[in-house]
Amino acid sequence: MKSWRIFSTRYSKSIFWFGLVLLLLAATALSLWTGSVALSPARVLDVLTGKDTSSTAARIIFYSRLPRTCAAFLAGAALAVAGMVIQTVLNNPLASPGVIGVNSGAGFAVALVCAVFPAARQYTPLVALSGALIAALLVTGLSWRTGASRITVVLAGVAISALFGAGIDAVVTLVPEALDGVADFRVGGFTGVTMARLVPAGGLIFVSLAVVLSLARQMDVLRLGSDTAQSLGLCVGVVRFVLLFLAAVLAGAAVSFCGLMGFVGLIIPNTMRRLLGEGSLELTAASALGGAFFVIVCDVLSRILFAPFEIPVGIILAFAGAPFFLWLLLRQKGVRV
Amino acid sequence: MIQLKNLSAGYFGKPVIKNVTMEFQPGKVTVLVGPNGSGKSTVLKAALGLLPAMEGGVWYDETDIRLLKRRQIARKAAFLTQSRNTPSIRALQMVLHGRFPYLSYPRYYGKEDYDAARKAMDATGCQQYENTNITRLSGGQKQGVYLAMALAQDTPAVFMDEPTTYLDIGHQFGLMQTAKSLAREGKAVVLVLHDISLALREGDLIGVFQEGRLLCFDTPELVYHKGVMEQVFGVDIHRMDTPHGTQYYCTLKEAKDALVSHIH
């Protein structure tokens, strides 16, 4: 695979990290500052520093903008790292969390609960996470039985996704009232996210991110191909299984509060790989920060483009991300992936 | 010393190699030859424990390979694979991965790992590419980096699966020189080669495979005199003493008859 790395020397790398963190901070600030109600930077600062805790502005910040910003941060970081891990394990830059059944599993669980226990809708995050994990475990478990080869993971993923996809359609056909909940979930977005909903998912995401970072060296060795990795002493089957499980937890936790948002897991890791190369520690950190930045920016755009109306962030993600990604792909002629 | 005893191994329950008994001695270049699909690569993988033995077994210095952990095997034998991935990283970073079997938590490469990696890059002549991304190197330069990674593993045995395929003649000779100097240092070097002239000229011991069986395992002279390779490959092999040592070359088996009939 040919690649061009803009940031390869130590000097240019420090510029890259500085720039990435700066962009992320700027996006976070923008996300708190802007919205359908105009708040001056000074008032936002007052609220954040605790000088103002009771005004309308404070309520907007605490109950709407702060949870939203945190949700966008967590979802972006989790989905981008999940995509990076799955691409590494399957050695395929086109793989994304959807490949291991995360999306369809979560969707089916949500549809089932909306149809059977409409009263339990406030438990949607938990339900979505369980569905995602069950589907991912089915996929990895099935492929484990057949030797955990990369192609069996992909094929088992296609089969399980088709199964759960059909399950969603069946539930919606039989119980049309479930359609509302499923549609909300499918479009994805951060409206109505509360801190109480975020905390458990956020905890899961931070723990999983830490474990992925601690497995960076194993991912490096895994990239060398399975025979070489094994002859270097890596237990390839076990490491693949653990990494896929972590990716499923990350993607499942994100999906649980923001619905389906598949595109981030594809474009952010690939962008970072092209900018930085394939050192797993750097790639994981850059994917997390880059994913968070991208989703926060898209969420801000979804709020201000047609204010006071909001368009679902998933649509912005695709409209903003796809052209950028294509531009990145086409910048070097004759790229082989 | 690595010993294979009555070893059978293969894929999906079907043995590819059957009842192979041989040993890889320290200080010797052992070359495995045979037609495509004869089981040479399978022998390497089974000897490294990448494929489990169906019958018989593999012993590393009298220890059954089944009793060794993957990391322990990785400290005893390095493997230069035939097909491989090329991640987009610096060459030195790649060679450092050869030190992976020695890492303990938190898996940071330390000074002795860098020293071992640089020494290995010197040995294969790729030290000047240290900071180059390996995706930008030519085939021969890449092979040097991969070989350096295997050497940085610092193992008593080195296995190479068709290391000269896709290399130009200069890099082929360079690789064989490195293999021989590794053997002189006391390592057991095992190569799978397709070039039988090269195998006969450079190998200390030759193992000839056909349809998963080891037909003959001996020095190049004895293998040549027994005529095993002529039978297996369907060619004539000629031996010639030249000012540059003993050389071997092959001709098509039918060539002699064809020439005779043409003259008549």
A81, A291 Cβ separation under 8 angstroms: yes
pLDDT digits (tens, 9 = 90+) for A273-305: 888 888 999 999 999 999 999 999 999 988 888
Residues 6+ apart with CB under 8 A from A183: none
Measured between CB atoms, does B133 come within 8 Å of chain A? Answer: yes
pLDDT of residue A336: 47
Cα–Cα distance measured from residue A153 to residue A144, given in angstroms and rounded to the nearest whole number: 8
Cβ distance of B81 and A228 shorter than 8 Å: yes
Question: What's the angle, vertex CA B128, arms to CA B122 and CA B133, rounded to 5?
Answer: 115
What's A93's DSSP letter? T
Is B100 in Cβ contact with A221 (below 8 Å)?
yes
Beta bridge partners of A83: none
Low-confidence stretches of chain A (pLDDT beneath 50)? 1-3, 334-337
Contact flag A217-B133 (C-beta cutoff 8 Å): no
**DSSP calls for A231-300:** HTT--HHHHHHHHHHHHHHHHHHHHHHH---TTHHHHHHHHHHHHH-S-HHHHHHHHHHHHHHHHHHHHH
Chain A contact for B143 (CB, 8 A cutoff): no
Strand stretches in chain A, DSSP E: none
Q: What is the pLDDT of residue A3?
A: 46
pLDDT band at residue B30 using 50, 70 and 90 as cut-offs: very high
- Token match 């092979």: residue? B143
Token pair, residue A34, equals: 């802007």
Please check whether residue B261 touches A, CB under 8 A: no
Chosen from A89, A92, A224, A281 to mutate, greatest number of chain B CBs within 10 A: A224
**Of B39, B33, B35, whose CA–CA distance to B207 is shortest?**
B33
What gap in Å lies between CA A218 and CA A234, rounded to an integer?
Answer: 7
Chain A contact present for B110, CB below 8 A = no
B2-252 CATH, one of 3.40.50.11260, 3.40.630.30, 3.40.50.300, 1.20.1050.10: 3.40.50.300
Q: Which residues of B touch A3 (CB under 8 A)?
A: 88, 133, 135
Best residue of A92, A222, A227 to probe chain B, by most B CBs closer than 10 Å: A227
Handedness of CA A250, A253, A255, A261 (dihedral sign): negative
Which residues does residue B216 pair with via DSSP β-bridges, in sequence order?
B208
Top residue of A228, A234, A238, A274 to mutate, by most chain B CBs within 10 Å, is A228
* Burial readout B140-156 (b: 16 or more C-beta within 10 A, e: otherwise): bbbbbbbbbbbbbbbbb
Amino acid letter, residue B205: L
B242 touches chain A (CB under 8 A): no
Q: Which of A218, A225, A277 sits opposite B84 (nearest CB)?
A: A225
Bigger pLDDT: B190 or A56?
Answer: B190
Q: Mind listing the pLDDT tens digit for each residue in B124-173? A: 888 898 889 898 888 888 999 999 999 999 999 999 999 998 888 998 99
Yes or no: say if A262 and A98 are a contact pair by the CB < 8 Å rule: yes
Query: Out of A8, A91, A231, whose CB is closest to B48?
Result: A231
Question: Where are the domains positioned within chain B?
Answer: 2-252
Give the pLDDT of residue B262.
54
Helices A124-145 & A195-214 angle (0-180, nearest 10):
30
Q: Residue B260: is its pLDDT beyond 70?
A: no
Number of residues written out for chain A:
337
pLDDT of residue A149: 73
- Mean pLDDT (whole number) for B238-261: 78
Residue of A nearest to B11 (CA): A147
ipTM: 0.89
**Cα–Cα distance between A285 and B62 in angstroms, integer?**
45
Cα four-point dihedral sign B175, B177, B181, B183: positive
Report how many Cβ contacts below 8 Å link chain A to chain B. 84
Q: Whole-angstrom Cα distance, residue A154 to residue A164?
A: 15
The residue of chain A with its CA nearest to that of B73 is A233
Of residues B192, B255, B222, the one with CA closest to residue B30 = B192
pLDDT, one tens digit per residue, over B211-248 is 999 999 999 999 999 988 988 998 899 999 999 888 99
Res. B66: pLDDT tops 50: yes
Global pTM value: 0.88
- Lookup result for tokens 């909903």: A197
B residues 166..225 contacting A (CB < 8 A): none
From A236, which residue of chain B is nearest by alpha-carbon distance?
B70
- B29 forms bridges with which residues in the sheet? B189
Report the C-alpha gap between B182 and B178 in whole angstroms: 6
CB B77 within 8 A of CB B159: yes
* Cα–Cα nearest to A70, from A175, A242, A238, A193: A193
A70-331 CATH choice from 3.20.20.10, 1.10.3470.10, 3.30.930.10, 3.40.640.10: 1.10.3470.10
Name the region of B39 (left: φ>0; alpha: ψ -120 to 50; beta: rest): left
